[in-house]
């Protein structure tokens, strides 16, 4: 808003030029705040806020240039500027409240997203541990089954060897008895053929071959899930239009509790009169660690705009 002061400046002239410059800023601000639902709309609101801040600065500069030297003659113009500045301040507050509300909501969404990812990562780890324990149990079962079958095979081979040895010994004993009987009868010619004769022995069963258990090999255990990499639901981005900070507030809550706290030396006596300077200083200094009966504290997000950018 740059215009030269005419020789005769009247409130009507200033009103016309300022109105043409500002237009329906408040209506536009309401529309912008209502549309803050994502990062681009927030950026647009912040940019418009910076534009309004620039206009406010220009108005203040122009007021000092035009109104102060002519204060007595042009009192009406100064009042008109004040009205417009209050309107711009309302616009700024409205936009700042909308942006602050979105910033708080963004933090809430980011926190919920982080909790969801952490929960899914924890569930994945627990599932992996369960599968790992089941896999280890199955591997041990297969190992025990293979060892049992191997023991049965070795036992069967030992039994067959003992049976063959028993038959061989029985056959040898029978030949010796026949030879002794022939010798007792004096039939020496029969002794040598008897001893040389080999009575067929039933062939032993072939040894039991070692058979590996025909059990499907389990699928190799998959590697554990990697640690979850938390991706913020809505990432913060540098913003050249706004400056945000948390402001700690307080209010009178319970005078009786405050008196009791002072009496028990849990709070300084200056708090009894709800000394705003004393309490406010301690609230801002201690922030979330401030504790005093009868005094309630909370934090608000404050958003201001950097002037110097044109819409």
Cα 161 to chain centroid, rounded? 69
**Hunting for tokens 């200033």 — which residue is that?**
14
Looking at the structure of the chain, the number of domains it has is 2
Name the percent of the chain lying above pLDDT 90: 7
Closest CA to 311 of 82, 32, 63, 101: 32
Residue 36 has pLDDT above 90, yes or no: no
Phi (first) and psi of residue 245, to 5 degrees: -155, 155
- Contact partners, residue 167, CB within 8 Å, separation at least 6: 201, 202
Within a domain: 269: yes
Within a domain: 296: yes
* pTM confidence score: 0.38
Residue 4 has pLDDT above 50, yes or no: no
Distances (CA, A) of 148 to 49, 154, 215, 230: 81, 10, 14, 50
Rg (CA), the chain: 50
Within a domain: 283: yes
Q: What is the DSSP letter of 200?
A: -
pLDDT tier at 278, thresholds 50, 70, 90: confident
- Domain with 71 in it: 11-116
Within a domain: 38: yes
Of 100, 116, 132, the one marking the end of a domain is 116
Q: Which of 135-149, 183-197, 217-231 has the lowest mean pLDDT?
A: 217-231
Residues 52-63: tens digit of each pLDDT: 888 888 878 877
**Left if phi > 0, otherwise alpha if psi is -120 to 50, otherwise beta: which for 210?**
beta
Residue 157 has pLDDT above 80, yes or no: yes
Within a domain: 229: no
pLDDT tier at 208, thresholds 50, 70, 90: very low
- Residues 260-280, buried b or exposed e (16+ Cβ, 10 A)? ebbeeeebeeebeebeeeebe
Residues 104-155: tens digit of each pLDDT: 888 888 899 999 999 988 998 898 888 888 888 988 898 999 999 999 999 9
Residue 164 in contact with residue 204, Cβ under 8 Å? yes
Of 116, 150, 184, the one marking the end of a domain is 116
More confident residue, 269 or 2: 269
Helix/strand/coil percent split, the chain, to 5: 65, 5, 30
Specify the pLDDT at position 230.
47
Instruction: Record the tokens describing residue 85, joined without a space.
Output: 């500045």
Within a domain: 165: no
Instruction: Record the tokens describing residue 119, joined without a space.
Output: 């929960």
Specify the pLDDT at position 150.
92
Specify the pLDDT at position 34.
87
Residue 303 has pLDDT above 80, yes or no: no
Within a domain: 172: no
Of 66, 88, 116, the one marking the end of a domain is 116
d(CA 184, CA 178): 10
- Contact partners, residue 17, CB within 8 Å, separation at least 6: 1, 3
pLDDT tier at 78, thresholds 50, 70, 90: low
Specify the pLDDT at position 29.
83
Within a domain: 179: no
């Amino acid at each position: 808003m740059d215009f030269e002061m005419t020789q005769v400046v009247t409130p009507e002239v200033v009103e016309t030029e300022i109105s043409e410059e500002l237009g329906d800023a408040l209506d536009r601000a309401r529309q912008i705040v209502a549309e803050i639902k994502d990062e681009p709309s927030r950026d647009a609101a912040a940019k418009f806020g910076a534009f309004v801040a620039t206009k406010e600065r220009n108005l203040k500069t122009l007021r000092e240039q035009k109104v102060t030297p002519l204060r007595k003659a042009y009192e009406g113009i100064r009042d008109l500027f004040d009205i417009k500045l209050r309107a711009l301040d309302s616009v700024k507050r409205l936009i700042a409240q909308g942006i602050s509300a979105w910033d708080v909501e963004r933090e809430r969404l980011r926190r919920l997203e982080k909790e969801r990812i952490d929960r899914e990562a924890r569930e994945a780890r627990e599932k992996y541990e369960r599968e790992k324990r089941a896999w280890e149990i199955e591997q041990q079962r297969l190992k025990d089954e293979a060892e049992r079958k191997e023991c049965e095979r070795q036992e069967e081979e030992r039994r067959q060897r003992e049976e063959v040895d028993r038959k061989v010994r029985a056959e040898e004993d029978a030949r010796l008895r026949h030879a002794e009987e022939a010798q007792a009868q004096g039939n020496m010619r029969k002794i040598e053929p008897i001893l040389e004769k080999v009575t067929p022995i039933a062939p032993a069963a072939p040894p039991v071959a070692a058979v590996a258990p025909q059990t499907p090999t389990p699928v190799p255990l998959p590697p554990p899930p990697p640690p979850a990499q938390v991706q913020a639901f809505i990432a913060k981005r540098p913003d050249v239009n706004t400056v945000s900070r948390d402001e700690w507030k307080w209010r009178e809550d319970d005078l009786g509790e405050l008196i009791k706290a002072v009496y028990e030396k849990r709070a300084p006596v200056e708090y009894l009169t709800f000394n705003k300077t004393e309490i406010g200083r301690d609230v801002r200094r201690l922030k979330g660690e401030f504790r005093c009966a009868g005094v309630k504290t909370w934090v608000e997000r404050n958003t201001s705009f950097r002037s110097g950018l044109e819409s």
